[in-house]
Amino acid sequence: MGAMVRKPIRVLADDVINKIAAGEVVDRPASVVKELVENALDAGASAIDVEIVAGGKTLIAVSDNGFGMDRNNALLAIERHATSKIGGVGDIEKIATMGFRGEALAAISAVSRFRMRTRPAEELSGTELVMAGGKLQDVRASGCPPGTLVEVRNLFFNVPARRKFLRSERTEEAYAREAFIAHALANPETGFRLKCDGRTVSALPCNATVGQRLGDLFPSIALADLRPVSGCSGAVRVTGFVGLPSATRADRSGQRFFVNRRPVAATLLSGAVRDGYDTLVPKNRHPVVFLFLELAPELVDVNVHPAKREVRFFSPAAVREAVSSAIRQALRAPGNVFGGVDRALPLAAVSPSRPPGTARGRGAGEIEHPVRISLPGPGRKSFARSRESMLPLAGQAPGAVRAPWSWRRFIGQIGNLYAILETEDGLVLMDFHAAHERVLFEEFMALSASGDVRSQALLMAETVVLPPADADCLRRNLSALQKAGFGVSHFGRDTFLVDAVPACFGSAPARGLILEIAGALNEASDRAKGIAAVEEIVARSACRAAVKARTRIEPQEMERLIERLERAEMPYTCPHGRPIIIHFSFQELAKRFGRTPPSGESAGNG
């Protein structure tokens, strides 16, 4: 241990304070991009240009056509705790702007060579400020366009410890682009441009919808794999897009959340997504989501972190429920992919990237497709027209969700595993084992929800002896199982008597079923409680009872299965998240066969 020497206590000099404080707001070029873009948005800009050179280590420049500042305000803006956005403590409780702490410009200019040119539209000339390491070097009148331009050079030139911690130019550029993408997504009515090392990477037109912006930013995302979300529960409005369970990722990098247009990270929201998808995606996969939450500013606290990356909700449970139910609803509606937007992809030559370290190998910004599934949906014009003349299927309430494909021709089956169907829109391959699982699962869940599960008595009651831990688990969940249609009673110690199973399981051997259920319950008991646990059990059991793979089934039987699948709420994946259907559109087939696509469906622009 080094010798400790008592040193006198000193009040730090302003420039030291500023450098320390700067570290909380600015830790890398991406945070400069974020702060400057937020200022431009707060200034009401309709066009924002971002330029970075060498990953932002050499230059970050952001210009906007917002309301600008006069000379006095420009000088005030670079002071710490100088803001035009709040006036007092009361305002903190209902913040409607992106900024409010009055720290960003002071922080950024403290750790860089900084130049700002700004002009309010109503004034004839503007003001130019030059600073270095927090020291004002020059202020002069400047002939500049209305709006504001901020240039930040040599970030951390005077804080070598920080500069050393910056990563490679490519990495820093990726982070900066991610910040750009987040704000561009959240503000589709604003035009954005991004230039990296002199090359235009993104040019995003103003007055776009979220859907269009999404398409512009991520040309690699198949729009057919997204469903629009639009839900309102209580004080929370949830909009955006969620990916079909067939297009998931191994990590959460495809999940973007916005609260009142602020890009945020919140574990609560990932949890809500998990709830919404429920059994539709396997545990280790993560759906792609773009979710925008809107709620009264006083119901969310954005002042948790200097960089405002995190937010706290006044009523987390309500937010969670709003998000998960909006997702559930979206996934169940096989409707129009982009709600009225008829623009086809790809729209722009943009290649957004994600921070390396979150991406491994895969093309940045891309959704990973284990298999490409896109059910024919009315998103395409030709299909929309043909669908309008169709009546809802029998047995469906008017206004209820319609089947994802209303017409199909069963062509045959191959490998005793897959059915081949022709639909309005192309060719569908169906894993009928997986389809059967889904059908049984949903039929069962519907009955179970209405407390209407029919049991089928076994010819002979079976006794099942379980390992002590499983037995204990089953004992505790006995009533849930009985409600689910299992005739199970405790028969002393670790023994149970099974005299009935849910009718939809047909001739599934009761003993194996109970053993499996007990095992599953035991595994899941601490986490997935109550209904969730039962759902899981049912899914597993349904799987067991489903058509055994590799058994041939008769055409009429197949027709019936398809009809039942048509009525399913989630016909895309089996209860374990495996895909049921792989669809090849005529358009895709034409592309593969080198035919030119039919007119009106040209792949380039719609």
Which DSSP category does 493 fall into? T
In the list ligand ADP, Mg ion, none, the entry touching 101 (Cβ below 5 to 8 angstroms by class) is ligand ADP
Interface with ligand ADP (CB under 6 A), residue from 66, 191, 276, 519 = 66
**Bridge partners of residue 501, in order along the sequence:** 456
In the list ligand ADP, Mg ion, none, the entry touching 100 (Cβ below 5 to 8 angstroms by class) is ligand ADP
* Alpha-carbon gap, residue 133 to 158, rounded angstroms: 6
Q: In a 3-state reduction of DSSP, which class is residue 471?
A: helix
Q: In a 3-state reduction of DSSP, which class is residue 378?
A: coil
Give whichever of 83 and 374 is closer to ligand ADP, judged by the CB atom.
83
Smallest gap from Cβ 43 to Mg ion, in A, equals: 10
Q: In a 3-state reduction of DSSP, which class is residue 75?
A: helix
In the list ligand ADP, Mg ion, none, the entry touching 51 (Cβ below 5 to 8 angstroms by class) is none
Q: In a 3-state reduction of DSSP, which class is residue 400?
A: coil
Rounded to 5°, the CA angle 53-57-63 comes to 55
Interface with ligand ADP (CB under 6 A), residue from 59, 100, 513, 533 = 100
For position 39 contacting Mg ion by CB under 5 A, the verdict is yes
Give whichever of 52 and 104 is closer to Mg ion, judged by the CB atom.
104
* Alpha-carbon gap, residue 493 to 193, rounded angstroms: 71
Smallest gap from Cβ 67 to ligand ADP, in A, equals: 6
Stretch of 75-83, 304-312, 506-514, 583-591 contacting ligand ADP, by CB under 6 A: 75-83
For position 43 contacting ligand ADP by CB under 6 A, the verdict is yes
Q: For the stretch 156-166, what's the b/e string if a residue is b when 16 or more beta carbons lie within 10 angstroms of its beta carbon? A: bebbeebeeeb
Residues in CB range of 223: below 8 A, 6 or more apart: 211, 215, 337, 338, 345, 379
For position 40 contacting ligand ADP by CB under 6 A, the verdict is yes
Stretch of 32-40, 173-181, 539-547, 576-584 contacting Mg ion, by CB under 5 A: 32-40
Smallest gap from Cβ 38 to Mg ion, in A, equals: 5
For position 102 contacting ligand ADP by CB under 6 A, the verdict is yes
Residues 84-123 that bind Mg ion (CB under 5 A): 99, 104
**Cα separations (Å) of 284 from 157, 250, 251?**
43, 7, 8
**Cα separations (Å) of 234 from 293, 368, 555?**
12, 35, 48
Smallest gap from Cβ 88 to Mg ion, in A, equals: 18
Give whichever of 121 and 465 is closer to ligand ADP, judged by the CB atom.
121
Stretch of 66-74, 138-146, 358-366, 519-527 contacting ligand ADP, by CB under 6 A: 66-74
Question: By the 8 A CB rule, do 242 and 227 touch?
Answer: yes
Integer-rounded Cα radius of gyration of the chain? 29
In the list ligand ADP, Mg ion, none, the entry touching 83 (Cβ below 5 to 8 angstroms by class) is ligand ADP
Q: What is the DSSP string of 412-442?
A: EEETTTEEEEEETTEEEEEEHHHHHHHHHHH
Residues in CB range of 336: below 8 A, 6 or more apart: 228, 377, 378, 379, 384
Closest CA to 262 of 104, 96, 150, 68: 96
In the list ligand ADP, Mg ion, none, the entry touching 172 (Cβ below 5 to 8 angstroms by class) is none
Give the x-and-dash track for 126-165 against ligand ADP (CB under 6 A). Answer: ----------------------x-----------------
Token pair, residue 481, equals 């199982």
In the list Mg ion, ligand ADP, none, the entry touching 387 (Cβ below 5 to 8 angstroms by class) is none
Rounded to 5°, the CA angle 66-71-77 comes to 70
Give whichever of 105 and 403 is closer to ligand ADP, judged by the CB atom.
105
In the list Mg ion, ligand ADP, none, the entry touching 142 (Cβ below 5 to 8 angstroms by class) is none
Question: By the 8 A CB rule, do 109 and 131 touch?
Answer: yes
Tell me which residues touch Mg ion (CB under 5 A).
39, 99, 104
Which residues would be at the binding site for ligand ADP (CB under 6 A)?
Answer: 35, 39-40, 43, 64, 66-69, 77, 82-85, 99-106, 148
